[in-house]
Amino acid sequence: MQSVVYQFRSIIEQINQFDENQKIVALGLFCGLLAVLLVYRFLAILITLLHEFGHAFIAKITFGKVYKIHLNRDTSGVTQTTGGWRSLFVLLSGYPAPILFSGLFVWFLRINHPEFVFFLLLFVSVSVLFVIRNWYGLFICLLGILFTGGLIYFGQLKIFMGVAGGLIAFLTFGSFLDVRAIFHHNIGPSDADLLNEKFTFVPAFIWKIVLIVIMFLALIPLWMGLKDLFLL
């Protein structure tokens, strides 16, 4: 018990040594964690949006085509792209995408340009808007454009930093709630199942392990960036 109290006091002392901007980001991180615990199901569509954008982005940079994206009310999503060898990279890119976005957001904070977080999210919303093919997905993209555009226009540096911190925590921890879908078949085939369908020589459970390992690997630059940001 004494060791727990000592650790808690040590954390409080470290936080007290933060400058004002670091405290704002730390508060944002804490709020983002609370959002995962309390309102995840209402905000999980943001993770789905970045997940599907990850598929589409990798398809485009590997010279494929993106035919459509659906974002559904149950927070599931579908991205239809061209097949072939590039399917491997496209299907592996969805689950780690939100964590990679978090790592990029940390870098924006480190270079003292938190507004770039919202320019990037605005770009994602506009990009997906061109290939969205259902009404709910259209609504989410338009909502994303209004939210990020409003923040960019009316926001201030401290607001950018706090919201960016919240997004980093929400996307990171929320991604590991999102990946639970690969173990449930009641919401349709997961990325692991689709990988198994295309590359049948590898069992589906191996693809599940691969996806989770990739997600943990994506945490490395994120953690390193946070350590530099808070000088830990």
pLDDT tens by residue, the chain, 232 residues: 556 555 556 656 677 778 899 999 999 999 999 999 999 999 999 999 999 999 999 999 998 899 999 999 999 999 999 866 778 999 999 999 999 999 999 999 999 999 999 999 999 999 999 999 999 999 999 999 999 999 999 989 999 999 999 999 999 999 999 998 888 766 667 888 888 888 888 898 999 999 999 999 999 999 999 999 987 5
Q: Can you give the pTM of this predicted structure? A: 0.92
Instruction: Give pLDDT, residue 145.
Output: 97
pLDDT of residue 185: 62
Helix (H) or strand (E) holding 69: strand 66-71
Beta bridge partners of 68: 80
- Contacts (Cβ under 8 Å, ≥6 apart) of 138: 129, 132
Q: Taking Cα atoms as reference points, which of 49, 38, 35 lies closest to residue 165?
A: 35
Closest CA to 24 of 158, 152, 117: 158
| Amino acid found at 192 | A
Q: Would residue 162 be called left, alpha or beta, if left means φ above 0 and alpha means ψ between -120 and 50 degrees?
A: alpha
What's the longest Cα–Cα distance across the chain? 59
Residues 6+ apart with CB under 8 A from 87: 81, 198
- Residue 140 and residue 71: Cα distance in Å, rounded? 8
